[in-house]
Amino acid sequence: MGDSREVLPTQAILRLPFDPQPRVRTDDYASTGQVSVEKVVNGSPQLLSFSFHSVVDSHSDPHDQYDLTLKPVIDKVLAGFDAAVLLIGTSKSGKLDYLFGPGYAALSEVTAERGMLFLSVADIFRRLSLDNCAPHSSSTDGSAIRAPTESPRNAVVRETTASQVTLSAFVVIYEDIFDLLHPDFTLHDPRAQDSFWTMRQSAGSDPFVKNLTVAGISGMDDLCSLLNLARSNQQHCLACYGYEMEPERTQMVVTVSVTRRTATLRADYDDETTATTSKLHFVSHFASERNMRHFRGLTLRNATTAGWGFTALPNVVSALTDPARRVLPPYRDSKLTRFLEKFLGKHGYLVCVGCVSQEDDVEESVSTLRLLNRFRCIVNQPAANASVRLSSFEEDSVTT
């Protein structure tokens, strides 16, 4: 029996800086999705062209950027699919500002309303409200009540729906995982707790981080408070390592989970409650700079360890897109690729956003563009998450 699931390529989106580099040509990119880079090879200039699904400006309206890049992702998530938004680029390319709002990476006041995460969660709440689902995780007020059917047996007397939105976040430094929403994170040295948060995977499930804090959010104020906590914990974690390191040089994962619960009351008392959970992962992949050039002394050893995590993702992409390489993708070479295994050639929906910085040299820009261009060749077969029938105990505990 054939698989009827839709085959979808990875959406590759390029985000340009406010003033593109002189060597990056972007004529008519809005309609063609093409950019060109002038690179000197063996003393002679060469023009390298790249094509993407869409190209956006960092100075354009955030709502326009959201409608073009992430709004289709929210459609998939609310339809029951898991999705991931992967941000790649160098440390000063504005990945975290694009995700969380201007000012995040610079540790200044964050304008969260301009961040893609804020706009995505706001859109989720808006659509849940339009579907008559209560956004608060512990209330079913305002749930939809539908008319019973005409059938005398198994007639639906009442069907109520409720939703729960949660947030979790962690950062990977030197292949160690740290929970960014842990309430007592700043009271301890995170290096002494690295074994507390580990990545696990049970049979038939996706990889997950054990003991990770999952916080419920009922509105945008809750989201902003949690993001401020995550930034504070991230800075504390980096400071404990004793060297200057930008937040964009870490691997950061923020997960928004949407659980939709449906309670069905039938005339023959064959009642049931089902729940469907879908997740949206925002992943910031750390800088692609050459370690030898940017790290000195004792940090070089740690930079080499961090380099394993960076090279693992291109190796997986190469194994998936190069027909000459008859090897299995090395998903387990790093924490990040293992976590993203479902979205790299399997059953998740993936959008890759490449960010280019004004401060990048042409080699770094070409490296980012080439990796983003290869993502276009990765195809997935997204599968909707199945609804799970809850027991009476689970029905009482699902909102706690």
Residue 94 confidence (pLDDT): 82
- Report the C-alpha gap between 30 and 40 in whole angstroms: 26
Q: Is the dihedral of CA 359, 363, 366, 371 positive or negative?
A: negative
Tally the C-alpha atoms within 13 A of residue 359's C-alpha that lie toward its C-beta.
8
- Report the C-alpha gap between 23 and 10 in whole angstroms: 27
- Report the C-alpha gap between 248 and 233 in whole angstroms: 14
Q: Please, what is the Cα angle at 99 between 74 and 59, to 5 degrees?
A: 105
Q: CB of 250 within 8 A of CB of 148? A: no
Q: Tens place of pLDDT for every residue, the chain, 400 residues?
A: 455 578 888 999 988 875 555 556 555 555 567 888 877 777 777 888 888 988 888 888 889 889 988 999 999 999 999 999 999 987 778 888 889 888 776 555 667 678 899 999 999 999 998 775 443 333 333 344 444 444 555 565 566 778 899 999 999 887 888 899 988 876 666 666 655 788 888 877 889 998 899 999 999 999 989 988 998 888 888 887 665 556 667 789 999 999 988 877 765 555 677 889 999 999 998 755 444 444 444 455 555 555 566 788 988 999 999 877 778 899 988 889 999 999 999 999 999 999 887 766 778 888 888 999 999 999 999 999 988 876 543 455 444 4
Q: CB of 121 within 8 A of CB of 257? A: no
- Report the C-alpha gap between 141 and 133 in whole angstroms: 8
Give the CA radius of gyration of the chain.
Answer: 22
Q: Hey, is 162 helix, strand or coil?
A: strand
Nearest CA among 323, 352, 121 for reference residue 224: 121
- Report the C-alpha gap between 375 and 10 in whole angstroms: 6
- Report the C-alpha gap between 43 and 271 in whole angstroms: 75
Q: Please, what is the Cα angle at 129 between 76 and 134, to 5 degrees?
A: 105
- Report the C-alpha gap between 78 and 128 in whole angstroms: 9
**pTM for the model:** 0.85
Residue 267 confidence (pLDDT): 56
In eight-state DSSP terms, residue 13 is E
Residue 266 confidence (pLDDT): 61
- Residue 363's identity, in one-letter code, is E
Q: CB of 36 within 8 A of CB of 47? A: yes
